[in-house]
Chain A
Amino acid sequence: EAQVTQNPRYLITVTGKKLTVTCSQNMNHEYMSWYRQDPGLGLRQIYYSMNVEVTDKGDVPEGYKVSRKEKRNFPLILESPSPNQTSLYFCASRRQGGGNTEAFFGQGTRLTVV
């Protein structure tokens, strides 16, 4: 089954404690992206990757890091989480030639930073 898998689904952490949210896709997609979703603000793009070792900032990259060492994985790293990073996070992937949009989203990771 084609899917984008995020882990964990739920996470409660404390301010300043480094964390990683993993994202993996099994569709051999070149393009992957991270979003955060906040009430009334829609989805805002954090980082995206056009291919292995190629990453770039989205609209709200501050406080986040990403890496793309393998095609299937695109982890989101919060080096020093703060309460304003409490949000619902989504990973997405698509083929490079599959229209310029995200075709597949993960189930989401709900992060709470206290």
Chain B
Amino acid sequence: QQQVKQSPQSLIVQKGGISIINCAYENTAFDYFPWYQQFPGKGPALLIAIRPDVSEKKEGRFTISFNKSAKQFSLHIMDSQPGDSATYFCAASMANAGKSTFGDGTTLTVKP
């Protein structure tokens, strides 16, 4: 049973465009939703995260939108740059619990 579904699998965006990646979860006990960025040959790095009591969180060009009733959250990358080309993972976990569940990842390519 896949608890976090991520889409699309791959995404191609022109430089300056908006990249949008979506995730949906099933377990309502999840209460922490991070996004990770991974470059080839590197480990994932925490990009931005949100808790369900907030509908939106913005850090620079990166924004998480959260819809608790729909059990969905998304990552928006504004003014996408070629340096943003990477694989992005969403994840979900529970407070005070050790388990984390990841989406399958989205490979983003930003064309110059």
Q: Which of A's residues lie within 8 Å of B, judged by CB?
A: 4, 31, 33, 35, 40-45, 48-50, 56, 58-59, 90, 92, 99-103, 105-108
Contacts and interface: CB of A to CB of B under 8 A. Distances in A.
B112 interface: no
A50 B93 contact: no
A100 B94 contact: yes
B43 A99 contact: no
Contacts of A4: 43
Contacts of B91: 43, 101
Interface of B: 6, 9, 31-32, 34, 41-46, 49, 89, 91, 93-105
Given A42-B103, A42-B105, A101 B49 contact: yes
A45 B43 contact: no
Given A42-B6, A42-B89, A43-B89, A103 B101 contact: no
B100 A99 contact: no
